[in-house]
Amino acid sequence: MDTALSGIWRHAVVTGGAGFVGSHLCTALLHHGTAVTCVDDFSTGAPENIAHLRDRPGFTLVEADVADRLDAGRDDVDLVLHFASPASPADYLRLPLHTLETGSLGTRNALALARAHDARFLLASTSEVYGDPQQHPQNETYWGNVNPVGPRSVYDEAKRFGEALTTAEAGSHGTDTGIVRLFNTYGPRMRGHDGRAVPTFIRQALAGEPLTVTGDGRQTRSLCFVDDTVRGILAAAASDLRGPVNLGNPTEITMLELAHTVIELAGSSSTVTFIERPTDDPAVRCPDITLARGKLQWEPRVGHRDGLRRTIDWFRKRLDG
């Protein structure tokens, strides 16, 4: 952990703190000596993600829907990290209205909490705001190519609205805000059936099942291991950068290459099978991280083979357990 971050914040509120990325954030903040209030309604987060934190001094769990209310329960809040949102296709297609409400009403409530405590606010946005991009790689000045009524729109537009609301809040009230756009984060604590490629491929490989590659498998993604993503998030939180700023790995990998790599690293006998490609599935996805490198001195450290190996090991231990 970066010792330079120790003691910066007294108390952080992490919405969606029992989710995949949120739970890693809670853990990192506690390591830095920051008290953490984790807010989650467990619609997609999991109690086991934060089980190791329950008895830690400084950790508090509040079970609540941020779209309904958000109260930290104490006065010393100096950081609000808004990470509540269904993020996988399986979740946001199952919970379309909840996804939109979390991105709109939930963001409003999280911003109001930050304003009331004069706290730094950081919004977790996503590379999905770029849609199926016509600019490659994508930098923060690109406006995107998003279908506002397609099947992915509930997530894409919730995040785009959250960015607009965060920007308006800073301009209207002077709230100290920042926006990070996360690209394809993966690692331990993902759910095997959440619909994203990495956990799906790993689950299938460990079960000896065919890996289901959509389309012809030539579409690309840029995979960023969760430890790297968390480092970037905390660096953005500790800065005065308003953003948005891309946080992701600029090394692309095709879905077919990813499938074969997972099979190899898992020592699996699985084969690859091809299925229909989802509507509005982006053909390419790769971040330009010039801004993060220059303003945050951040870039990924974990290569995809190392990160996948660590993620496979975590999934295997769960299966063995």
- Structural domains of the chain, ranges and CATH numbers in brackets: 3-185+224-249+286-301 (3.40.50.720)
Q: Compute the mean pLDDT over every residue in the chain, rounded to the nearest whole number.
A: 95
Q: What is the 3-state secondary structure (H, E, C) of 125-140?
A: EEHHHHECCCCCCECC
How do residues 208-245 score in pLDDT, each as one tens digit?
Answer: 999 999 999 999 999 999 999 999 999 999 999 999 99
From the list 108, 149, 152, the residue with the least C-alpha distance to 128 is 152
What residue type is 320 in one-letter code? Answer: D
Report CA Rg, the chain.
Answer: 19
User: What's the rounded mean pLDDT across residues 77-88?
Assistant: 96
How do residues 20-56 score in pLDDT, each as one tens digit?
Answer: 999 999 999 999 999 999 999 999 999 999 999 999 9
User: What's the rounded mean pLDDT across residues 65-91?
Assistant: 92
Position 195 scores a pLDDT of: 87
Position 2 scores a pLDDT of: 62
What pTM was estimated for this model as a whole? 0.95
Instruction: Let me know if 130 is a catalytic residue.
Output: no
From the list 45, 56, 1, the residue with the least C-alpha distance to 23 is 45
pLDDT of residue 3 exceeding 60:
no
Catalytic one of 92, 130, 142, 155: 155
- As given in the structure block, the two tokens for residue 168 are 């308006």
Position 112 scores a pLDDT of: 97
pLDDT of residue 295 exceeding 90:
yes
Distance from C-alpha of 200 to C-alpha of 192, rounded to nearest angstrom: 6
Cis peptide before 137 (omega within 30 of 0): yes
Concatenate the DSSP letters of all residues of 248-316 into one string. Answer: S----EEHHHHHHHHHHHHT----EEEEPPPTT--S---B--HHIIIII-----S-HHHHHHHHHHHHH
Position 187 scores a pLDDT of: 98
Position 319 scores a pLDDT of: 82
Position 321 scores a pLDDT of: 62
Position 278 scores a pLDDT of: 87
Q: What angle do CA 302, 139, 105 make, to 5 degrees?
A: 90
